[in-house]
Structure 1
Amino acid sequence: MGLKRGALVLVAASAVLAGCAEAVDDSGTEAAPPRVVTDPGPFFGQCGSVTDEEVAEEFGMPPFTAVTRNSVGCEWEVAGVGGPSVTFSWYRGSPIGRERAGSEMIGRPASAIDVQGHPGFIASSGGILCELGVEFGGDFIHWSVMYADARPAADPCTVARNLAELSVSRAV
């Protein structure tokens, strides 16, 4: 009887301590949820495996004045920072929900979409900006198309969708 009672006390104490450890950190605020490790999604290649020429054709603007490539994405710009641009980003091990929530927080309500069997979201603003994210388990890709103050040469969401379709179809 003493052994059972001691085991129950240990189990109860462990549950209480575990619950407290997840709920509150040293500052008295809620602690971040534990990080979930997911299997990596497919490989997208540099710039989502989309060429500069394909981006230019979809975007329909004058030639790009700058193209930036780095380890997480690419940006094609017309007339420098703040001008018309297209951006591709690849997020590994990052939840797409945070990106979607950020879009909604700044006044761009997001709608659910499906790109070749993969869930995602699309959000736009005033016919001059559109962003689209596609989820792959714990990873996601993100295309953003912004015409800024320029007259849009195409619907930015159509451009983003077409570029996302290319990336998804070329993923390995």
Structure 2
Amino acid sequence: MNVVRAAARCGWLVCAVLVVVVAAGCGGSDGTPGTPTAKAPTKGGPFFGVCGGVDVADVVAATGFTGLRRTVKTPSSCVWENEAGDTASIDWFRRSPIGRERAAVQLGKDRVDDIEVNGHAGFTGVSPGICEVIVGFDADFFEWLVATDRRPAAGDDLAEQFCVAAKSLARTSIERAQP
């Protein structure tokens, strides 16, 4: 259908918007197809196994939480919880930009710090009673989260303790990963 007939069937304003949208998707001004300005990494990371390669005993050893039971188990996510309100979880993201995750964590956490775990760059997101450790692998990343609903006793820095636990779990997942 040509532009004139299309214009006759709809209002000029709607058609003008349609022409701009269609033209924008047609490519560069030199007639070449449009290309993104920045390419995301295409190589994926290793296979971390179900639950990041860890079991409840590993989570208990890292966190010190007692009475944990796995409440979620999917190919990309596992969650362990107890009656006291303690939680540990791993989420594995394939072909997902870690930068977008960092932006979300920066909005929701009190502090974000760069880290390195077993030679892989990442960052932590920290707020009272919670620590997230996010580690990137080319186009993939995983996130270990350790948190509690409990109120800490005066002087307790649970978030820092939880970061130690989350980093330990991240190291274990990396060490057990399969290429």
TM-score when scaled to structure 1?
A: 0.75
Aligned-residue sequence identity (percent) comes to: 33
- Partner residue in 1 for 2:123: 121
Match of 1:15 among 28, 33, 56: 28
Residue type of the alignment partner of 1:129: I
Runs of 4+ in 1 over 3 A off after TM superposition: 32-37, 150-154
Residue pair 1:96, 1:140 contacting (<8 A) in 2 also: yes
Query: Match for 1:118: what amino acid?
Result: H
Given the alignment of the two structures, is residue 45 of structure 1 paired with residue 46 of structure 2, yes or no? no
**1:92: which partner in 2?**
94
- Could you give the per-residue CA deviations for residues 74-126 of structure 1, whole angstroms, max 9, x where no partner exists? 0001128xx21001011100011111111111233311111111110112112
Give the secondary structure class of the aligned counterpart of 1:169: helix
Aligned to 1:64: 68
Would you say how many aligned residue pairs link Structure 1 and Structure 2? Answer: 148
Q: Which residue identity lines up with residue 164 of structure 2 in the other structure? A: T
Higher Rg: 2
User: In structure 1, what residue type is equivalent to 2:145?
Assistant: S
- Alignment check: 8 A CA contact 1:113 1:122 kept: yes
Q: Distance in 1 between matches of 2:112 and 2:159?
A: 23
Distance across 2 between alignment mates of 1:14 and 1:90: 35
CA gap 1:142/1:33 in 2 versus in 1, 3 angstroms:
farther
Match of 1:149 in 2: 150
RMSD, aligned CA: 2.9
Q: Aligned in 2, Cα 1:122/1:16: closer, same or farther, shift over 3 Å?
A: same
Give the 3 Å change call, closer, same or farther, for CA 37–107 of structure 1 in structure 2.
closer
Q: Distance in 2 between matches of 1:66 and 1:43?
A: 21
Unaligned runs of 5+ in 1: 1-12, 23-31
**Which letter maps to 1:121?**
F
CA distance in 2: counterparts of 1:109 and 1:49, whole angstroms:
28
Cα gap change, 1:18 to 1:170, in 2 (>3 Å)? farther
> Out of 67, 79, 85, which is 2:83 matched to?
79
**Corresponding residue for 2:4?**
none
CA 1:134/1:18 → structure 2, altered by over 3 Å: closer, same or farther?
farther
- Which runs of 5 or more structure 2 residues have no equivalent in the other structure? 1-25, 153-157
Query: How far is 1:37 from its partner?
Result: 5.8
1:165 paired to 2:176: no
